[in-house]
Amino acid sequence: MERNTPPFAVSNTVHRKGLYPDNEPFAYGWLPTGGTHEIFYEECGNPDGKPCVILHGGPGGAINPTMRRFFNPAKWRMALFDQRGCGKSRPNASLEDNTTWTLIEDIERLRIHLGVEKWTVFGGSWGSTLALAYAITHPHRVEALVLRGIFLLTQRELRWFYQEGASMLFPDAWQRFCAPIPEAERGDMMAAYHKRLTHTDRRIQAEAAAAWSQWEGDTISIRGPEARPSKFNEIDFAIAFARIECHFFANGGFFKEDNWILNNIDKIRGIPGWIVQGRFDVVTPMDSAWRLKTAWPEASFDIVWDAGHASTEPGIVDGLVRATDQALKL
């Protein structure tokens, strides 16, 4: 590592920080995009605080109240929004004009709408992908990056989770994931699911969406399927989540080349960054975080030894809260 490079830390269980108290939005609305989409957003915390934008995962997920609690509400002005087709944004589950690049345009549109010059960008899983892509595209608008569960959206990562790799750790959940797909089509699970999730028959969509969403829910926690978050069982959430996620992944994230993020990492080397990664993350394995840290040695790197992918695991909470507290000092 280079001189003055922060060494990586392995999180311990002593004196871990918890989430900040819940706080309600002080403003919300729907932001027009100039097309068919309207983006739901909300602002929380201190209207005069340090600005940040919080990016949810998926793609296809949605914002939730817990996401506000990684930041000190007395000191941060938090902006959250449901990405195209997600949550309260309209129209729900829409794939039209829904790409990484249009989402980056939406982040900029929201920044301008809120009158923010520069902000800290926070994201986990797909949120880390989008945060990195946004920072590479608009580095002068990013004061800092706080990232969790690094996902670079490469073909290697997609094969691991949707074809062969994670299946060896969760064979019980994988069997359920395979169930809607005839054996003859299982050589390309993503293509098989994409065909069903874009089918005109909602019943076919729903069956595929339930299995797709539950596979991710079953693997998200170090505790396994018994810790599946309840939202992955809700069919309306599952359809939007699975359709949009599969749409992005089948198109390689709409990046110009595989490994696009690391190929462009030099554009953000000067931005302060914090990376928090669960050692036993199966959804976005630590290899991606390690490769990001290697390419971006200036970033702080916190390995949580007793965590998987979920943002609410105690060690992940601790790492993220400490990171946002440190980002306040910039």
**Hey, which residues are catalytic here?**
125, 281, 309
What the block records as the tokens of 154 is 């490469």
Q: H helices within the chain, ranges in order?
A: 100-114, 126-137, 155-162, 166-169, 171-178, 189-197, 202-219, 235-250, 260-263, 286-295, 314-327
- The CA distance from 317 to 149, in Å, is 12
- The CA distance from 70 to 322, in Å, is 9
Contact 228, 218 (CB under 8 A): yes
Q: Which of 241, 244, 262 has the alpha carbon at shortest distance from 253?
A: 244
Q: H helices within 87-154, ranges in order?
A: 100-114, 126-137
Q: For 20, phi and psi rounded to 5 degrees?
A: -70, 160
What the block records as the tokens of 190 is 């993503």
Q: Which of 32, 76, 327, 57 has the alpha carbon at shortest distance from 213?
A: 57
- The CA distance from 286 to 235, in Å, is 30
120, β-bridge pairs:
52, 144
Q: Which of 110, 100, 108 has the alpha carbon at shortest distance from 28?
A: 110
- The CA distance from 141 to 138, in Å, is 6
Taking only Cα atoms into account, the Rg of the chain, rounded to an integer number of angstroms, comes to 19
Secondary structure class of 97 (helix, strand, coil): coil
138, β-bridge pairs:
none
Amino acid 35 reads G
